[in-house]
Amino acid sequence: MNNFKTLFLLIFGLFSVALFASPEEDLQKFRDYFENRFPETEFSDYKNGVYSIDLSSREQWESIEDFPPYEINIEQGEELFNTPFKNGNNYASCFENDGIGIRQNYPYFDENRGEVITLELAINECRKNNGEKPYSYYKGGPMADLSAYMASTSSGKIFDVEIPNDDRAFDAYEEGKRLYFTKVGQLNFSCADCHVYQTGSKLRADIPSPAIGHPTHFPVYRSSAGRLVSLHERFAGCLNRVRAKPFKAQGEEYRNLEFFISYMSNGLEINGPGSRK
């Protein structure tokens, strides 16, 4: 066991032994771990993902952000957002504050439905409720453009994911946490293996980004894909890489996982969409 993993287990052992830790205790231990792991990194900088710790490639990334490749996606998303449905309604009619500046409130646990609601799920439910066909959750396209535009209107706002006093909400959070730390696939990897234990270390040609701050910059324009990639598509890509079977797009597993990692990013600014390699 390497020193980083030993340190993590000492600081953050609740994931294997302290079954009844509260989300608030989890969050504090998560922050403590990364503060010890990367003492030179300011908490607020974790919104920048791997570039908060990989200073050697940060300058190149910042130059890309000067002329972001996703600008056209934001423009297309804004046009879609403002285009009325066939019934005369539009997306603004489905969301609080007319859908502007709300990204930081997602995902949330809907106590009436007893499940986690993500922004992308809410977008498609808005479409279906207005007689429109749902968009695909993967491969970029209109869904990615819409979520990119809505994220851009929340730039600078602070992640504020709440876990209501509801056993079902706590169970959803715990399921997301369990999935994050469970080894899966033929390669026997968990999310935490890359983004907690090995973050900052080279895995092949890449440095895994820190777990804290992951959702802040999604959807992201990935140069390797040449398009925007959603958070759940990234989940599926990681599972494929460790030779595990991905879950259904916007299924309960991914929504609970997003619930957990978003709660762990509370206090950070929304800065999506972003660009990555």
Catalytic positions, please? 238
pLDDT for the residue 14:
44
CA distances from 249 to 42, 135, 232, 235, 253 (A): 34, 12, 7, 10, 9
Burial of 31 (0-12, 13-18, 19+ CB in 10 A): middle
Q: Please give the Cα distance from 171 to 49 (Å, whole number).
A: 27
Query: What is the value of pTM for the model shown?
Result: 0.92
Confidence band (pLDDT; 50, 70, 90) for 7? low
* Residue 146, token pair as written in the block: 């819409």
**Going along 158-245, which residue ranges are E strands?**
220-222, 227-229
Q: Domains of the chain by range and CATH?
A: 3-68+163-276 (1.10.760.10), 71-152 (1.10.760.10)
Confidence band (pLDDT; 50, 70, 90) for 17? very low
Confidence band (pLDDT; 50, 70, 90) for 277? confident
Residues in the chain: 277
Q: CB under 8 Å to 232, separation ≥6 — which residues?
A: 118, 120, 137, 138, 249, 250, 254, 258
Strands 227-229 and 115-117: unpaired
Mean pLDDT within 24-35: 94
CA distances from 267 to 20, 24, 104, 138 (A): 23, 13, 10, 28
pLDDT for the residue 13:
53
Instruction: Write out the DSSP string of 98-128.
Output: GGSS-GGG-SEEETTTTEEE-HHHHHHHHHH
Closest to 241 in 3D by CA, of 188, 195, 205, 201 = 188
What type of residue is 4? F
CA distances from 183 to 7, 19, 129, 179 (A): 19, 18, 38, 8
Which 8-state DSSP code applies to residue 196?
I
Strands 115-117 and 274-276: unpaired
Task: Compute the mean pLDDT over every residue in the chain, rounded to the nearest whole number.
Answer: 92
